[in-house]
């Protein structure tokens, strides 16, 4: 994709993140539709990296159907009394309880990190890089980076962070990721569902076709939710894209300019 065209795509993303989600279809219409037509049902090739390791590398962008890019669940997940209280206090800029952008208390709009798993819902691509010892997710949004350490274990003492501590291993064609150690300072999604420091996330990441990446989530957060619950996201491969530099403060400046 030409760099001018790629920049235009990114500018469209920023407009959407600032004011609405109704134009999402315009962002991916020309590229996603063309690539979806070419998506084959065959399984992706294997690499020779320490054996038969599934190839998850590439630049991926979320596909439509993920609840309008705002949430992991269709409807509200089963919240505890504490979780419901946090949810009702949230003032999201999107969804049925949306408020004007200037009134939102979504800390992402003050340039705080979305953290895990909210980062997956940002309207920017993510690049996956694999090495023999770790899988790295390079999110274009605010140049965020996530490290998934392979065949390892969580440290005995974890300093809570926005991305948490992630370890992984391969099971056949699937990367299984276990994440704990989140700091609970961010929402779960754009709708304001809670995400506490007790959140435990399991991901099963695999290529279902040459151009489709599927991530199955299991969420366990006894402080926020009454039971574990699951979700699914799909991402489309864009082999001609490159991750660009994106900084949150530049987005805010752009949004003020748009007003």
CATH number of the CATH domain containing 217: 2.40.128.20
**pLDDT reported for residue 226:** 98
Instruction: Name every residue whose Cβ is closer than 8 Å to that of residue 244 and which is 6 or more positions away in sequence.
Output: 6, 7, 10, 140
List pLDDT tens digits, range 170-226.
Answer: 999 999 999 999 999 999 999 999 999 999 999 999 999 999 999 999 999 999 999
**pLDDT reported for residue 90:** 98
Specify the pairing of strand 144-150 against strand 165-171.
Answer: parallel
**pLDDT reported for residue 23:** 40
Which parts of the chain have pLDDT scores under 50? 1-5, 7, 11, 14-50, 253-254, 256-259
For the beta carbon of residue 162, count every other beta carbon within 10 angstroms.
18
Count of domains forming the chain: 1
How far CA 161 is from CA of 48, 115, 185, in Å, comes to: 33, 8, 9
Q: How many residues does the chain have?
A: 259
**pLDDT reported for residue 248:** 82
Domain of residue 116 covers 3-258
**pLDDT reported for residue 67:** 61
**pLDDT reported for residue 258:** 44
């Amino acid at each position: 994709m030409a760099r001018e065209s790629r920049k235009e795509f990114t500018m469209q993303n920023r407009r959407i993140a600032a004011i609405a989600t109704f134009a999402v279809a315009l962002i991916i219409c020309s590229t996603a539709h063309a690539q979806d037509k070419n998506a084959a049902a065959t399984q992706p090739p294997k690499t020779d990296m320490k054996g038969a390791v599934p190839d998850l590398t590439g630049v991926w962008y979320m596909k439509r159907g993920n609840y309008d890019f705002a949430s992991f669940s269709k409807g509200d997940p089963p919240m505890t009394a504490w979780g419901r209280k946090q949810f009702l206090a949230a003032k999201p800029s999107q969804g049925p309880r949306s408020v004007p952008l200037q009134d939102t208390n979504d800390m992402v709009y003050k340039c705080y990190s979305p953290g895990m798993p909210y980062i997956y819902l940002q309207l920017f691509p993510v690049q996956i890089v694999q090495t023999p010892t770790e899988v790295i997710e390079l999110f274009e949004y605010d140049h965020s980076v996530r490290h998934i350490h392979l065949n390892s274990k969580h440290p005995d003492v974890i300093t809570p962070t926005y991305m948490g501590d992630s370890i992984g291993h391969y099971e056949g064609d699937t990367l299984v990721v276990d994440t704990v150690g989140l700091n609970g300072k961010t929402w779960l999604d754009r709708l304001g569902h809670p995400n506490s420091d007790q959140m435990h996330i399991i991901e099963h990441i695999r290529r279902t076709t040459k151009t489709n990446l599927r991530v199955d989530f299991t969420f366990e957060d006894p402080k926020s939710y009454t039971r574990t619950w699951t979700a699914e996201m799909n991402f489309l491969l864009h082999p001609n894209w490159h991750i660009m530099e994106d900084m949150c403060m530049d987005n805010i400046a752009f949004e003020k300019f748009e007003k």
